[in-house]
Amino acid sequence: MLLTARDLMQTNLVSVPPTLTLPQLEERFLEDGVSGYPVLEKDRLVGIVSRSDIVRRLCLERSSAEHSTDFYHFSDPVVDSSIDSFDDIAKRVGKRVEGLHVHDVMVRLLITVRPSHSVHHVARALVDNRIHRVLVTEDQKLRGIISSTDLVRLLADGETEDPMRAARTNR
């Protein structure tokens, strides 16, 4: 029997709106014990957001803050160098990120599979796109989500065994 996305997908979907702030999103990550959510706006799938997206944004914000600080230090020798210590930069970045929302960090280019796609197709989508979760859609509606953990669980449980091999060894 060929396993499909329908067999593996999680259907008890929890999503977030694009207007949720990043501090609220972090609370949701902790409450729900997950690391990513589909982003829905009025029941329409508009993106996906994960902790990795937040880390990526933090790195971008920090780099931007450091570059602007370097610019001012090099262009104005009168500027007090103690003003822009790493602590000051971290505080600025933290303050900036607190004001961001899910729509500021979410991924809009969605990698999706259909419920009828094989588990191999799902795994290939995850690997080829270097992602940890794929959305299962049908008729432009979100039907489920499959994470890399779901695939690992499938392997750990031995569900990917060749049924003919199992039959041959049980003779």
On whether residue 95 sits in a domain, the answer given is: no
**Predicted pLDDT of residue 1:** 67
What sign for the dihedral angle of Cα 140, 141, 144, 148?
positive
On whether residue 76 sits in a domain, the answer given is: no
How many structural domains comprise the chain?
1
Among 120, 114, 106, 121, CA closest to 141: 114
**Predicted pLDDT of residue 66:** 59
**Predicted pLDDT of residue 64:** 65
Are 97 and 58 within 8 A, CB to CB? yes
On whether residue 30 sits in a domain, the answer given is: yes
**Predicted pLDDT of residue 124:** 97
The number of beta carbons lying within 10 Å of the beta carbon of residue 88 is: 13
**H-helix or E-strand containing 53?**
helix 51-75
Are 45 and 38 within 8 A, CB to CB? yes
Q: Global pTM?
A: 0.74
**Predicted pLDDT of residue 169:** 40
**Predicted pLDDT of residue 9:** 96
The CATH number of the domain holding residue 163 is 3.10.580.10
The span from the CA of 3 to the CA of 135, in Å, is 17
**Predicted pLDDT of residue 62:** 66
**Predicted pLDDT of residue 168:** 36
**Predicted pLDDT of residue 164:** 42
The number of beta carbons lying within 10 Å of the beta carbon of residue 4 is: 19
pLDDT in tens, the chain (171 residues): 689 999 999 999 999 999 999 989 999 999 999 999 999 999 899 999 998 888 887 777 667 665 555 444 444 555 555 455 556 655 665 566 677 899 999 999 999 999 999 999 999 999 999 999 999 999 989 999 999 999 999 989 887 655 444 433 433
Distances (CA, A) of 80 to 22, 46, 64, 73, 77: 32, 45, 19, 8, 8
On whether residue 104 sits in a domain, the answer given is: yes
Q: In angstroms, how far is CA 144 from the centroid of its own chain? A: 15
On whether residue 90 sits in a domain, the answer given is: no
The span from the CA of 158 to the CA of 153, in Å, is 9
Diameter of the chain by CA atoms? 85
**Predicted pLDDT of residue 57:** 76
**Which structural domain range is residue 122 located in?**
5-59+100-169
